[in-house]
Structure 1
Amino acid sequence: MQNGIYSYPGTKRVVYGIDMCEALDKEMTHRGAQRVFVLASATLARKTDVVDRLMTSLGSRCAGVFSDIGAHTPRTGVVAAANMAAAARADLLLAVGGGSVTDAAKMVAICLGNGITDPAELDALRVVTKPNGDTVRPSYKAPAIDSVIIPTTLSAGEFSAAAGCTDTRTMRKESYIHPAAIPGTVILDPAVTIHTPEWLWLSTGVRAIDHAVEDLCAINSMPFSDGTSRHALYLLAKGLRRVKADPSDLAARLDCQLGAWMSILGTSAGVSKGASHGIGHVLGGTAGVPHGYTSCVMLPHVLRFNYPVNAQRQGWISDALSRPGEAAAEAVGDLIAELGLPRTLREVGVKHDQLDLIAEHAMLDRLIHSNPRKIDGPVVVRSLLDAAW
């Protein structure tokens, strides 16, 4: 007989299929915020009218804009943004962009709540995992400010209490977790995603597939997220194919966004991820590989590695991808190939002489140690990297 406790995530509102400015105006009325600090991706700020439209919608309520967050959310950019938001006396954060900007919003809120004004001060707040899997999660003050997120990719970090942030001294991507860091409101407007480059949209869609797959296969899976993960896979596979065929298909883009939302409901409630995410964090922070690409390259190989311990659940993945009776690794790999995305480490710029360092760093990621099939050390990680090479 099953037993357990499911904790609902802290997201208060998800607004979907509505123009972002209309949704934002209603959100401002609902909240009464008067000093909104905007975090935006550099591309949106400099090459589109998205940020200008948001600033016009906010009017005098806009307290400032920061659009210099780099890939994988470097500490330096986070703290610079937090210092600006503090000086502006912001009472709400608004983030528009991809996963790095979403993580930045969570990190800025954490910095403001804990008086962080220098990047080195974040050392005291990071999650630390030892090579044997022992993990220390420091306790610290809650974020001092809430966030509204308008995502333009499908990584779904806007529904999570965890933020990834790269220490630029060591080039290691580290985790910061506080239950109150989940943004209060997420606005899913498919029209704003038209500006997202195709490779980024599709690859972060595979990242969302990775969320759903690793939640289904998790060592502490839950019946509620089993259901949302399976439907997420259906929506994402259908939606990504349709967007690939017709980038202007807003209904397909919304299907992708809804699938990404459903893909991470397990994670938000404490379901553990596995080696695809754990290695992916290191490929991002250490080797500069975009998040979506890490899943394209690693997920099929991790599925093959884990098959001996979760074959039945991998069958659910194949069913959701309309490939019943076939290996999940093949079903996922074929979808990635159909979308025209990379499938090897070489294709995403990883150097062969980086593999040992990546394997060593991976053992310091907490998710390696919650993989369904035990990973005993860097040698096992290196075998997965070699398979993906």
Structure 2
Amino acid sequence: MRSGFYSYPNTQRIVYGVPFVQALAQEVQTVDAQRVFVLASGSLTRHTDVVDQLRGVLGTRCVGVFSDMPAHTPRTAVVKAAHEALNARADLILTLGGGSITDAGKMLTLCMSNAIDSPEDLDRLATRVHADGRVERPEFNAPSVPSTVISTTLSAGEFSALAGCTDTTKGHKENFLHPKASPRTVILDPALTVHTPEWLWLSTGLRAVDHAVEDLCSVNTHPMSEATSFQALRLLGRGLRAVKKDPSDLNARLDCQLGAWMSIIGSSAGVHKGASHGIGHVLGGTAGVPHGYTSCVMLPHVMRYNHSVNAEQQKRVSEALGEPNKPACDLLAELVAELGLPSTLREVGVPADMLDLIAHNAMHDRLIHTNPRKIHGPQDVRSILDAAW
């Protein structure tokens, strides 16, 4: 008999299809925030009036804006922003941007409640994954300051308590997890996403597809995420194509946002993802490849690698994408091509002489060790990388 449990995430509200200024005004009143510290996308700050609109809503409640967070959320920038938020006596962290900004918001709340004074201090909070798959999660304080996310991409980190942060001295992206670290409120305004560059919107959409696919094909599927992942693929499959055809289609953009939300439910259910995510983390931290591009390149090849052990589950992916008689790996590769996204490691700037290092570092990512087809060592990772190069 099938058995298990489902833990609802700490997030209390998800507001969708509402203009962000309206949703934010209501949120600030609801939580009675008096000192809001903002983490904003640099491109939105420089090239749009969105941050000015945000300041207009917050008024004197805005006690600071940090807009210098690089991709992949490096430790140095996180600690610098956390110092500014502490000095401002922030009682709410508000993020406006994509996945790296969202991760940074979660990291700030952890830094502020755990006396993190330097990048090295984050060693105390980082999850450690050994090459044999053993995972060590340290215990530390829950965030004492809540966060709210206004998301502009589709990587779906806003729906998770997990944060990724890069140790640039080691060239390695690490996980930081506290169950209370998920944002209190998530705001999804499709109109705001028209400012997101097409490549970023579509590629992070593929990242959400990756979430749903690896959950459907997992070694420990869950009835909740089986349903939500299937619907996520339906929404994302049609929504991404529609936005590619007409970037002004706000209904399609909302389909994508809702699909990204549904794609991540498996994380709350404890569903293990696999090597596409595991290798993707390393491609980001070690080789600087954007989050979404890692999924575009790796997911079809990981599916081919795993097909011998989860062919029936992969058929569900094909069904969700509308072609049940076609191999899922081929459908995913076709979707990447149709959206005009990169499909090889060469295209995203990964040199051949880095593949061994990536394979070695991947063995220290926990999701390599939960891949449906067992990965015995760096040589197996290298075989997948070679197929993708």
TM-score calculated relative to the size of structure 2: 0.99
Q: Does 1:45 align with 2:45?
A: yes
Number of positions where the alignment pairs a residue of Structure 1 with one of Structure 2: 389
Q: Does 1:216 align with 2:216?
A: yes
Contact 2:6 2:268 in 1 (8 A): no
**What is the aligned partner in structure 1 of residue 2 from structure 2?**
2
Q: Secondary structure at the match of 2:289?
A: coil
TM-score calculated relative to the size of structure 1: 0.99
Q: Secondary structure at the match of 1:180?
A: coil
**What is the aligned partner in structure 1 of residue 274 from structure 2?**
274
Q: Does 1:295 align with 2:299?
A: no
Per-residue CA deviation, residues 179-203 of structure 1 (Å, 9 max, x unaligned), is 0010010000001100100000000
Gaps of 5+ in 1: none
Shift >2 Å, 4+ stretches: none
Q: Does 1:307 align with 2:307?
A: yes
Distance 2:172 2:276 in 1: 17
Contact 1:275 1:367 in 2 (8 A): yes
Distance 1:129 1:75 in 2: 18
Distance 1:306 1:156 in 2: 24
Displacement after TM superposition at 1:68 (Å): 0.7
**What is the aligned partner in structure 1 of residue 246 from structure 2?**
246
Q: Let me know the Cα RMSD of the aligned residues.
A: 0.6
Q: Does 1:100 align with 2:100?
A: yes
**What is the aligned partner in structure 2 of residue 78 from structure 1?**
78
Distance 1:296 1:323 in 2: 19
**What is the aligned partner in structure 1 of residue 155 from structure 2?**
155
Contact 2:207 2:296 in 1 (8 A): yes
Distance 1:279 1:67 in 2: 29
Distance 1:168 1:375 in 2: 26
Alignment of 1:186-197 (within 5 A): 186-197=186-197
**What is the aligned partner in structure 2 of residue 365 from structure 1?**
365
Q: Secondary structure at the match of 1:78?
A: helix
**What is the aligned partner in structure 1 of residue 121 from structure 2?**
121
**What is the aligned partner in structure 2 of residue 323 from structure 1?**
323
Distance 2:227 2:8 in 1: 15
Distance 2:284 2:169 in 1: 15
Distance 1:28 1:97 in 2: 18
Distance 2:269 2:311 in 1: 24
Q: Secondary structure at the match of 1:181?
A: coil
The aligned amino acid for 2:215 is D
Gaps of 5+ in 2: none
**What is the aligned partner in structure 1 of residue 200 from structure 2?**
200
Displacement after TM superposition at 1:271 (Å): 1.1
**What is the aligned partner in structure 2 of residue 265 from structure 1?**
265
Q: Secondary structure at the match of 1:385?
A: helix
Deviates more, 1:343-352 or 1:268-277: 268-277
Displacement after TM superposition at 1:279 (Å): 0.1
Distance 1:299 1:39 in 2: 31
Distance 2:117 2:192 in 1: 33
Contact 2:5 2:269 in 1 (8 A): no
Q: Does 1:30 align with 2:23?
A: no
The aligned amino acid for 1:206 is L
